[in-house]
Structure 1
Amino acid sequence: MENRSEKREATARIVDGLLRYMAGGSYIAASLLVPGLSIGLEKPFNILMDHLDEKDRQREFRRIVNYMKRAELVGSYEHGITITEKGRQRLARSEFNDLRIKRPAKWDGKWRLVVFDIPEENKTGRNALTAKLNKLGFQPLQRSVWIHPFHCHEEIEVVALHYKFTNFITYLETNYIDKPDILSKRFVNLLKPSVALLS
């Protein structure tokens, strides 16, 4: 069961990797529809195909491409395949789910605040937003104010666009906040190495 789950995950990563490649304005020529296409997919390819010979590898890769065609994630044309609008939507969902805040080598001492005022009729969306902020490592400062130590403006823009909350969310950075020692303890796993560098 674990092996089957691992293969499904590897297939999904290959699909998303191919979509990401094509979303950058590229297309995949028909002559390149083989496992040798190198676009940062070596690990998932190895999970799926390490035990296969060259002929079976090509067959497996074409199976994935055919799945993408059936799912209308890509479209065929004379010279190969390219991403469709449906493929772009899947890629956007995948990138949103994989969103992470980068941890710097050294903390700059600033705090990042996300302040939101979302209408009560959109309670479900507000709950989804706070769940996402929590997943990104934010901590609640107040009911509608969440805090994080690392720069994440671009990530919050992605979140706001995803939930269509751009008019309801404000991102702030500050050098000063009350009770920084108490706050730092809430982020001890993130800040411990960086705080040591600042002391």
Structure 2
Amino acid sequence: MDNQFNTRSMIFTLYGDYVRHYGNVIWIGSLIGLLKEFGHNEQSVRAAISRMSKQGWVQSEKRGNRSYYSLTEQGKARMEEASRRIYQTAAPHWDGQWRMLIYNIPEHKRNLRDELRKELVWSGFGSLSNSCWITPNPLEEQVHRMIEKYDISDYVTFFKGTYEGMGKAEDLIYQCWDLDEVNDKYSEFIKEYSEKYYIDQHLIEKGSMSDGECFVKCASLVHQYRKFLFIDPHLPEELLPEKWLGNSAQTLFNDYHDLLQPRATRFFEGVFE
């Protein structure tokens, strides 16, 4: 298997899709064994998990001479949110309100500002102007978690209200997000993965695909689809363009995932400790 996936994001995928359903804890040896299937070596797995530990996503615990890694509270919250968005079946309903976050972070904390920007994009905020971010989704909980995580309550103002003009809500949307580009990416995903889906469906029916292959394909599918969390703000239906491909991509993802999941899980359970 060529090593086309970043080790750290692959670990996130495995925690999100498997480990969190098995008590959130995994022995480092199991993690190394699972990631070997994707062409990652022991050294890169240890380096990536150590980095995730420093960033506060996982914590380690020694049992005898073995190291086990579990998700922290911050890690669990991130996985819950990612999972809710990856497996959601319909666009959220809009309450007509906009959330607006404005920050003024001093120059000497510039790296904090960069981190916050990445986090806002991941959560689905769009940049209306410099340091002013908006979303139509009820992300109050995520915002408060973010403020606490980065300890920036002194630099942040957060509002909720209605948009009073001067244009239409669609103008706001196009100012903050490039939905045409997101739609193009969904189109590419549908084209590539509908072909793979039919081929694999046929192979599984014939019984000529191993559990290990299903595991690799399933994790790779989730890994690819997870990328949409960084570019699709998951806007409410009322604010989406007419020919939106997000729903078709979601259906394809769900069907393909359901096809691979039982055998993939069986493989995971064989290696997991």
- Give the TM-score range, shorter chain: 0.5 to 0.7
Instruction: Sort the Cα spacing of 1:112 and 1:11 in 2 relative to 1 into closer, same or farther, 3 A.
Output: closer
The alpha-carbon deviation at position 117 of structure 1 amounts to 2.4
Do the aligned partners of 1:100 and 1:136 also contact (CA within 8 Å) in 2? no
User: What one-letter code is carried by the residue in structure 1 that aligns with 2:238?
Assistant: S
Q: 1:142 to 1:105 in 2, by over 3 A?
A: closer
Q: How many residues align?
A: 163
Distance in structure 2 (CA, Å) of the matches to 1:83 and 1:122: 31
Which whole-Å CA distance do the structure 2 matches of 1:169 and 1:99 have between them?
24
1:119 and 1:94 map into 2 onto residues whose CA distance is 28
Deviation string 1:9-55 (CA, Å, 9 cap, x unpaired) is 655544565368546xxx78x9xxxx9xxxxxxxxx7x949xxxxxx
Would you say the 8 A contact 1:118–1:168 is kept in 2? yes
> Looking at both structures, which has the greater relative contact order when contacts are Cα pairs under 8 Å and sequence separation is at least 6?
2
> Aligned runs of 1:35-184 on 2, under 5 Å?
48=37, 73-76=60-63, 88=72, 92=75, 95=78, 102=85, 104-181=91-168, 182-184=171-173
CA deviation after TM superposition for structure 1 residue 173, in Å: 1.3
Describe the shift of the 1:123–1:19 C-alpha distance in structure 2 as closer, same or farther (beyond 3 A): same
Q: Is the 8 A contact 1:112 1:151 kept in 2?
A: yes
Q: Any conservation in 1 of the 2:91–2:235 contact (CA below 8 Å)? A: no
List alignment gaps of at least 5 residues for structure 2.
51-58, 180-233, 241-273
Shift of 1:143: 2.3
**Residues 140, 12 of structure 1: alpha-carbon distance in 2 compared, 3 angstrom cutoff:** closer
Deviations 1:70-104 (A, max 9, x none): 96723327xx98757xx638x639938x8699584
Q: Which amino acid aligns with 1:92?
A: G
> What residue in structure 2 maps to residue 54 of structure 1?
none
Q: Note closer, same or farther for the CA distance 1:175–1:7 as it changes in structure 2 (3 Å cut).
A: closer
Unaligned 5+ segments in structure 1 are 36-44, 50-62
Separation in 1, partners of 2:143, 2:136 = 13
Match of 2:187 in 1: none
Task: Pick closer, same or farther for the CA change 1:195–1:171 going to 2, 3 Å.
Answer: same
TM-score by length of 1: 0.52
Name the CA distance, whole Å, in 2 between partners of 1:110 and 1:180.
16
CA shift in 2, pair 1:7/1:132, >3 Å: closer
Instruction: In structure 1, give the amino acid aligned to 2:3.
Output: R
Residue identity over aligned pairs, in percent, reads: 17
More helix per residue: 2
CA shift in 2, pair 1:48/1:167, >3 Å:
same
**Residues 98, 137 of structure 2: 8 Å contact kept:** yes
The RMSD of aligned alpha carbons is 5.1
Q: Tell me how far 1:147 sits from its aligned partner.
A: 0.9
Task: Assess, with a 3 A threshold, how the Cα gap between structure 1 residues 148 and 81 changes in structure 2: closer, same or farther.
Answer: same
Q: TM-score, normalised by structure 2?
A: 0.41
